[in-house]
Amino acid sequence: MTILVTGAAGFIGHHLSLSLLGQGERVTGIDNLNDYYDVSLKHARLSELQSHDGFSFHQCDIADCKGMAEILDSVPETTAIVHLAAQAGVRYSLVNPFAYQHSNLDGVMVLLEAARKLSGLKHFIFSSSSSVYGGLPTLPYKVTDNTDRPVSLYAATKKAGEAMCHSYAHLYGIPVTSLRFFTVYGPWGRPDMATFMFTKKILAGDVIDVFNDGKMRRDFTYVDDIVFGVTRCLASPPKAVDGSAPYAVYNLGNRRSEELMDVVSIIEREVGRKAEINYKPIQPGDVIETYADITDATADFGFEPKTNIAEGLPAFIRWYRSFYNV
């Protein structure tokens, strides 16, 4: 199969592309290589991918309608699209909201329009987020929960993306799945993520900011488990039943909610240094806890996360020390 992966030089896109290439698939990677974070990290990921014969890369903004159409025209054999490219980050959406409109709304529109013109397309996967659940008090989060009250612009754009995907599944019969990712971490992670920032600052002896006085919990999910879930889902496109659209939504999480301060403690132990902590109030757009119910994903395509933070965080730190030589 030929699979198009947007955000291929990103954190999850890099891991997913490597996994697909290892399975013998051909991957068309797209990324705009923007400077939201260190571009050299994106180039390093991309360099790994470009060492594989089955990988081709196109630098393009996913919201560039003409550019994306030209790319898709060059790979008419594409059988699946995994749309991972997005403007990430809850807090950054308070600073640069129009970046979220551009990538997370216009970009999704362009990809869906391209998808409906691919005659051999069997599955379109959209990367959504646990952020769509907002501050729901009932845990764990289930895909049947109401997600109409996002508490950040980032979450609102992801919810809008899901709605757009459903409309295209309904109108054009494109099999579409929205996967709600829960706090993904691991080697090659993004520098704006808590595990990355904590590790970097604790190693350097700098102060770390911890919000809500440390009283926060997250369903931290190791990147290898996310990739396993995406590849299993890829082989199980939804079907139209009794007139319904061929559309599905699943949570991909680790099915456990971890104390943020436990994460800090593990990093302290692994790097051999105590953290200097600046406790701060909860930030606008943040939620106190996330926790995924993955019952449907387990039943429908065998999603079973295997890595807890006691194993995953040391693996990330080993990569970090090796990559940055610290």
pLDDT per residue rounded down to tens, the chain (326 residues): 899 999 999 999 999 999 999 999 999 999 999 999 999 999 999 999 999 999 999 999 999 999 999 999 999 999 999 999 999 988 888 889 999 999 999 999 999 999 999 999 999 999 999 999 998 999 999 999 999 999 999 999 999 999 999 999 999 999 999 999 999 999 999 999 999 999 999 999 999 999 999 999 999 999 999 999 999 999 999 999 888 999 999 999 999 999 999 999 999 999 999 999 999 999 888 899 999 999 999 999 999 999 999 999 999 999 999 999 99
Which residues does 266 contact at the CB level (< 8 Å), separation at least 6?
309, 310, 313, 314
- Give the pairing of strands 55-59 and 247-252: unpaired
CB 155 within 8 A of CB 131: yes
Of the residues 154, 185, 247, 291, only one is catalytic, namely 154
Radius of gyration of the chain (CA): 19
Give the Cα separation of 132 and 154 in Å (integer): 9
Per-residue model confidence (pLDDT) at position 297: 98
Closest-CA residue to 166 (of 158, 178, 154): 178
User: In a 3-state reduction of DSSP, which class is residue 30?
Assistant: strand
Q: Residue 94's pLDDT is what?
A: 86
Closest to 19 measured CA to CA, from 192, 239, 188, 255: 188
With tokens 């551009």, the residue in question is: 102
Burial 238-265 (b: 16+ CB within 10 A, else e): beeeeeebbbbbbbbbbbbbbebbebbe
Q: Is residue 243 part of a domain?
A: yes
Residue 34 domain flag: yes
Question: What domain range is 238 assigned to?
Answer: 2-185+222-255
> Quick one: pLDDT at residue 12?
98
Give the number of other Cβ atoms within 10 Å of residue 207's Cβ: 12
Enumerate residues 6+ apart whose C-beta is below 8 A from 130.
141, 180, 181, 182, 183, 219, 251, 253, 290, 292
What's the Cα-to-Cα distance from 304 to each of 10, 25, 218, 253, rounded to whole Å?
Answer: 24, 23, 18, 9
The answer to whether residue 194 sits within a structural domain is no
- DSSP run (H or E) holding 198: helix 194-204
Nearest alpha-carbon partner for 2 in 70, 78, 81, 116: 78
Residue 187: DSSP 8-state: T
How many helices and strands (H and E) does the chain possess? 11, 13
We report the CATH number of the domain holding residue 153 as: 3.40.50.720
Examine residue 196 and state whether it is found in any structural domain, yes or no: no
Q: Give which of 282, 281, 285 is closest to 153, Cα–Cα.
A: 285
Amino acid at 100: Y
Say if 167 falls within a structural domain: yes
**CA quadruple 311, 10, 112, 103: dihedral positive or negative?**
positive
- Whether residue 46 is contained in a domain is answered as yes
Residue 211: enclosing H or E segment and its boundaries?
strand 207-211
Indicate the number of domains in the chain: 1
In Å, how far from its chain's centre is CA 13? 8
Domain for residue 208, yes or no?
no
Structure tokens at 53: 């014969």
- Among candidate residues 60, 57, 37, 61, the one with its CA nearest the CA of residue 46: 57
User: Catalytic residue at 185?
Assistant: no
How many Å apart are CA 57 and CA 37, to the nearest integer?
A: 20
**The pTM is what?**
0.97
In a domain, 274, yes or no: no
Sign of CA dihedral 131, 136, 139, 142: negative
Cα separations in angstroms, 276 against 198, 203, 210: 10, 11, 10
